Amino acid sequence: VRKILVVNLTRFGDLLQTSPTIVGLRENHPDAELVALVERNFADVARGLPAVDRVWELDLDRLGRMLIGETGDGLRAAYRLVDDTVNALRDERFDLALNYSSSKMSAVLLRLIGAPDTRGWTMSADGHRLIAHPWSRLFAASCLTRRQAPFNLVDYYKRVAGVAAGPQRLFFEVPADARRWAADFLAAAGVPPGAPLVAFQLGASRPVRRWPAAHFVAVARTLHAAIGARFLLCGGGGDRPVASEIATALGPLAIDACGRSSVAGLGALLEHADVLVTGDTGPMHMAVAVGTPVVALFFGPALPFDTGPYAADHVCLHAEVACAPCDHNVTCLEPFCRDTLAPAAVAEAVIARRAGDWQALAAAAARWPALAWYRTGFDAEGLADVVPLGARPPGRAEVQRRAYRALWKTVLEGTAPRTVSAALPRDAAVLREVAGLAAEGAGRALGVEALAADARDLDALEAAARRLEELDARLFRLGAMHEAAALLVQVFRFEKENLEGQDVGALARATRLVHEELAARARLLAEMLEPAGAVRPALPQGGNHASVR
């Protein structure tokens, strides 16, 4: 591999989350040129990622200005801008293109760039979405069925790129001028080096993800009394009103940095903080990248399992309410989950994490049973994990998540199947039903395959194909009805969607394999969740057979 393109058109947190993959690619391909394609506003973040040789900036703001008038010269100019960009990207002749943005827009772009090995979202020649790579499909499916989100986003990124053994942390290189700026800023605010300093990230991408200002004030009062800390208020220009509300309440204890720093400056400021208290935000990943411990608050749509801090020994507090996580498209009228995260509990977490006292954290977890407390780390196979703090028995979602982790590690990586801590017999029964239907589907696909070989009886072929479709509709329905089957069925959907070609016989054969794999996976998952817990090594093949790219 001579030249690699990494595409990430999302925001800066996501870009930081690609950093271990890029460093891993550098380790695996020391002589390859690594190019990052990002939105212009985040080009500086991309330049702060080690191992990026060159940054390609996509000026989406400019494209937006061209299109605002909808028609005429603007539309023609926008066309030319994309045409020129695509031609220039094609001239680069990338051998490998990794798309880490999950949008149709990026899928079309990757198709246009046309690298011979393209992974992630892309598009077929006739304009249909393809999700190229088993880990990419699993990630896309888990975004739709998040309660069982088995793995951290960064681990999907790494495995799609083939760098599973890459670093277990995030990276950002703070430039020297940003470091000088941060030191001056804190000195001007009267913070001597080494004085206790706790940072608060106030903002979030949407109001529903924002922890209330009054809660930050309450945490600050407790922390000041306990450890004499001062407080660095972080956020964008849009968070100024919240920042001044908190600054007014806290007086000279608060140092308001909202809207005052570049992204690099934020990294430099966070280097000075003892702990960052934050929701699931870009600055959370920045703190992780510069090595500052975080106490991360997960509520609303956020979950620690898939987008939590990617490094060991951070603390996640999750408001494990019945409706969590909420759908990204839902507007909640009663966001009580934010208050479930009690300021007193958060203050305890900050004090104990600052001291590195994991026993105190476990004890605090026991005192606040309405919250799920987690410590981040990595499992035996090197995948990021959140380990419960305290002695709380695992709930149903946790058992399902554990079983799903074991399943995908077996299916995609060949790890030996293992038992989970508790049986879920009802879920196991649903999975047996899925396995039975999928096996029947494999039989029906075999029927289609046989009829396709002898194309004379078109009526019979059509009827057989329809019978297969009916069965798949029943499978989709099971996936929609039962949480335990949702992720399995969604991955199956994506695998079917990814089958390409015109030859009915070949398609029927590939469809049969996809059904056989679903049956095998559902059986394995059922075995893990059945009371006996006896797992037989039953899986005949991996998830990366030739029919599904």
Partner 1 sequence: VATFTDAAELHDLVRHYLAHPEERAWLAAAGRARVLAEHTYRHRMQRLLETVAAGDHERLGSRPREETVADAARREGDTPLGDLLRRLPTATPFKLDGVVQGLLHRAGDLSDPEAILLFLHQFDELYVREQRA
- Residues within the interface to partner 1 (CB under 8 A): 60, 63-64, 67-68, 70-72, 75-76, 78-79, 82-83, 86, 103-105, 108-109, 111-112, 123, 125-127
**CB 83 to partner 1: min, Å:** 6
The CA distance from 410 to 193, in Å, is: 49
Closer residue to partner 1 (CB): 334 or 459: 459
Closest to partner 1 by CB, 83 or 117: 83
Min CB(506)–partner 1 separation in Å: 19
Pairing, β 371-378 against β 384-388:
antiparallel
Residues 6 or more apart whose Cβ sits within 8 Å of residue 518: 434, 435, 438, 441, 475, 488, 489, 492
- Cα torsion for 283, 271, 371, 245, to the nearest 10°? -70
Minimum distance from CB of 399 to partner 1 (Å)? 37
Query: Which CA distances in Å does 533 have to 158, 185, 422, 527?
Result: 31, 58, 8, 6
Cα distance between residue 460 and residue 476, in whole Å: 25
Nearer to partner 1, 58 or 311 (CB): 58
What's the min distance (Å) between Cβ of 81 and partner 1? Answer: 9
**Smallest separation (angstroms) from partner 1 to the CB of 94:** 17
Residue type at position 180: R
C-beta closer to partner 1: residue 110 or 316: 110
Is the CB of residue 82 less than 8 Å from the CB of residue 63?
yes
Strand partners, 85: none
514 and 144 Cβ atoms separated by less than 8 Å = no
d(CA 269, CA 179): 8
Q: How far is the CB of 57 from partner 1 (least distance, A)?
A: 15
The residues pairing with 386 across neighbouring beta strands, listed in sequence order, are 376
Among residues 230, 210, 313, the alpha carbon closest in space to that of 274 is found at 230
Q: Which is nearer to partner 1, 81 or 164 (CB)?
A: 81
Write down the least CB distance from residue 89 to partner 1, Å.
Answer: 12
Lookup result for tokens 């004379």: 456
Nearer to partner 1, 40 or 396 (CB): 40
Q: Which is nearest to 92 in space by CA: 42, 140, 37?
A: 37
Q: Per the structure block, which two tokens stand in for 203? A: 């903002």
CB of 86 to partner 1, least distance (A): 7
Q: Give the three-class secondary structure for 387.
A: strand
The tokens for 110 are: 């990757």
Minimum separation from the CB atom of position 205 to partner 1 (A): 15
Backbone angles phi, psi at 39, to 5 degrees: -70, 140
Looking at the Cβ atoms of 126 and 334, the one nearer to partner 1 is 126
Give whole-number Cα distances, 256 to 3, 154, 188, 288, in Å.
43, 31, 12, 21
Please say which residue, 82 or 422, places its beta carbon nearer to partner 1: 82
Measure the N-to-C terminal CA separation of the chain; round to a whole number of Å: 19
Q: Which two tokens stand for residue 359?
A: 């026993």
> Pairing state of beta strands 117-123 and 129-132?
antiparallel
Is the distance from CB of 509 to CB of 449 less than 8 angstroms?
A: yes
Tell me, what DSSP letter sits at residue 146? Answer: G
Residue pair 262/246 in contact by the 8 Å Cβ criterion: no
What are the phi and psi torsion angles at 130 (to 5°)? Answer: -125, 140
Q: Quick one: 214 or 455, whose CB is closer to partner 1?
A: 455
Which two tokens mark 69?
């008038």
CB of 131 to partner 1, least distance (A): 16
CA 101 to each of CA 11, 97, 98: distance values in angstroms, whole numbers, following the listed order: 10, 12, 9
Question: Looking at beta carbons only, is 61 or 470 nearer to partner 1?
Answer: 61
Name the DSSP letter for residue 40: G
Closest contact distance (angstroms) between CB of 507 and partner 1 is: 17
Length of the chain: 549
* Least Cβ distance, residue 281 to partner 1 (angstroms): 21
CB of 175 vs partner 1, minimal distance in Å: 29
Least Å distance, CB 77 to partner 1, is: 11
Task: Report the residue number, 78 or 491, with the smaller CB distance to partner 1.
Answer: 78
